[in-house]
Structure 1
């Protein structure tokens, strides 16, 4: 059991770190009262993609060890490169969200302050990595996950109580107003939310710590748990979303929770800081480690930290949080797309191959057309 908890903590922390704090305003702005259904569809797509990653853990990993076909090896290396790019973008995303929540809590939130604080945190992480290494900071992950899960439970309980009181008074809920949009607009915006359920693929890269069966099991359970939490949270938050008056941004969750109870704002901000900082450190380490491995040691960890920092800072000053979310979704969709190609190159099951082709088309659509809300 202890090993199961240790193995599930990485994908679970990554999934909740990816977008729990921003999913409600994103869906409300995109599909209003259809948010719960949209959340289910996004989670279902992510679970299907997760099955591909788990297939690759079981079958592709051993195949790559034994003299694989050159095409399969090439696809795998390209997917590793795509994942490095995705991690760099996600580092920018996590710290953007962290900055938005901290600055909102102290009353200094604006785009310039967000960019400055995000840049300073990136520099601090990079300098720590260059001087002492980032491994000691990885220990924050377990603490961050525990705090995040605890805060999520508290928020869900508070929202449930608030919803019940509204129902007892009105016998109905006020739902966010649907802004008419074309099917294409809705699909491209929802495509940009894939990042919020990303993180299950981290199990693919824990082979040096856990065997394949445990990684498959914990990856699947991390998605089951996060799906139940995400759908429940969106459903409970939806009756309160109308209090935002149609104004959605990267820290809207603070305003929404303050409507329920101002006492919940501090633990929410604490969870935001821990989860986003932990996720940023983990992705910096993962990106750097991948670069070292791909270059066969030509690129060192120090070089990797610097590369991540430069890329993340450049993004910070170029796009806003919702744009980073869409960009991160596109980059991870590209990685998942190439992983599908890797699986297609290995499988001999025609039905599975056909399903992978269909999924590849969906992921290619997300890669090419995902766009931010608003």
Structure 2
């Protein structure tokens, strides 16, 4: 079996190399890289940490296949978003630019507000696009609660504080703090911290994957590598509904849809595709390599949200502490990003009735209410279903846009695909259930 020192060296080296690359100034200054890392960070943020315990506890040795199905669905839905970027946006957007507001807000607040503000309400596709933004704002409120409930789980786990009211109280305090900062100063300052957190998070993911590869290689060489037999919990329909409730794990690619004020149409389409492909490879390699770690665990398999922390100790002794710190930072970063995006949508939807600073208060108030009405397993399912509703509307928008655009290649195939995806996402909205 691998010595702790060698595993530590491999994980630390991977984190260092990845960190240097991610903070390399010519790379960070590249518009293409920035357009790639925004959706990539959203896709990899929280789902990466919770997917293994949830999948292996509920779907067993079919976990890699189940994740491949989720990722395939996400990529297909991503093609709908890319279609709407290419063909829908020119139809939706007003010719006149949006009103100029004081630019002290988070970049995703500005991006979402400007994108929603430009839509003219003249035809069915325009109206449905606007409605989809309303649905997305609701999904963001749920996801803010989701991210912060995960943050509380990881923050309290080392202290062995598992009481629900303590976690919910911590989430409430954080949301109150975000509301106060947003109301008084905007979230521009927090955005600077997010850039560092995103880089650290991706470096820790690299460390974990490298450590897993080393663990698997050494286990194979000394003959201790084996798979643990894990069956599927529940009947097939139940498993399918569980998988539906985990769509949030691979969500985040749609962020590219709202970066039009910073990045060109072609750049957003290209970088969104790259973000989804990169995340697909990382997810499948990670879940596949984790099979050997699961095989070496004794007793009942841990299925809690934070089980990845204990499992990572098998790979390298330092990883549990690093992952806990990274999880807290990445959840806070994701929560503030979605909070900013939601407040931007609300500002555009309600026009002058809701200035940005009041939108932050509304988002935090709604997220606090959702937090006290749900637990961490329920919120994963609710967030998945909320984003699935947004995807349903985007699929229908794409179908309506296709009727107005004459030069769409493979029109018949795309029509069938988008209609099928709309149906699948509608089923997820209606029938997804918690994995806990």
Q: Give the TM-score taking structure 1 as reference length.
A: 0.96
- CA drift at 1:366: 0.4
Matches within 5 A, 1:54-93: 54-65=82-93, 70-93=123-146
Deviation per residue, 1:317-362 (Å, 9 max, x gap) = 1211121111100000000000000000010433321211111110
**Separation (CA, whole Å) in 2 of partners of 1:114 and 1:319:** 12
Contact kept, 8 Å, 1:79 with 1:338, in 2: the verdict is yes
Q: Cα RMSD between the aligned structures?
A: 1.6
Q: Does 2:56 correspond to 1:3?
A: no
Identify the match of residue 143 of structure 1 among 171, 192, 196: 196
- CA drift at 1:171: 5.1
Secondary structure of 2:351's match? Answer: coil
Identify the match of residue 60 of structure 2 among 23, 32, 46: 32
**Separation (CA, whole Å) in 2 of partners of 1:75 and 1:206:** 20
Residues 176, 310 of structure 1: alpha-carbon distance in 2 compared, 3 angstrom cutoff: farther
**Separation (CA, whole Å) in 2 of partners of 1:372 and 1:180:** 13
Q: Which residue of 1 aligns with 2:69?
A: 41
Q: Which residue of 2 aligns with 1:351?
A: 413
Residues 257, 19 of structure 1: alpha-carbon distance in 2 compared, 3 angstrom cutoff: same
Identify the match of residue 274 of structure 1 among 322, 329, 334: 329
Q: Which residue of 2 aligns with 1:209?
A: 262
Deviation per residue, 1:113-148 (Å, 9 max, x gap) = 211211111111111111211111112232122111
Contact kept, 8 Å, 1:18 with 1:197, in 2: the verdict is no
Q: Give the TM-score taking structure 2 as reference length.
A: 0.82
- CA drift at 1:176: 5.1
**Separation (CA, whole Å) in 2 of partners of 1:311 and 1:176:** 43
**Separation (CA, whole Å) in 2 of partners of 1:7 and 1:180:** 39
Higher alpha-carbon deviation: 135-144 or 227-236: 135-144
- CA drift at 1:294: 1.0
**Separation (CA, whole Å) in 2 of partners of 1:43 and 1:345:** 26
Equivalenced residue count is 374
**Separation (CA, whole Å) in 2 of partners of 1:250 and 1:321:** 8
Identify the match of residue 20 of structure 1 among 30, 35, 48: 48
Q: Which residue of 2 aligns with 1:236?
A: 289
Matches within 5 A, 1:1-374: 2-65=30-93, 70-170=123-223, 172-175=225-228, 177-242=230-295, 243=297, 245-348=300-403, 349-374=411-436
Higher helix proportion, which one?
A: 1
Structure 2's unaligned 5+ residue stretches are 1-26, 95-119, 404-410
Q: Which residue of 1 aligns with 2:407?
A: none
**Separation (CA, whole Å) in 2 of partners of 1:140 and 1:105:** 24
Structure 1's unaligned 5+ residue stretches are none
Secondary structure of 1:297's match? Answer: helix
Higher alpha-carbon deviation: 353-362 or 159-168: 159-168
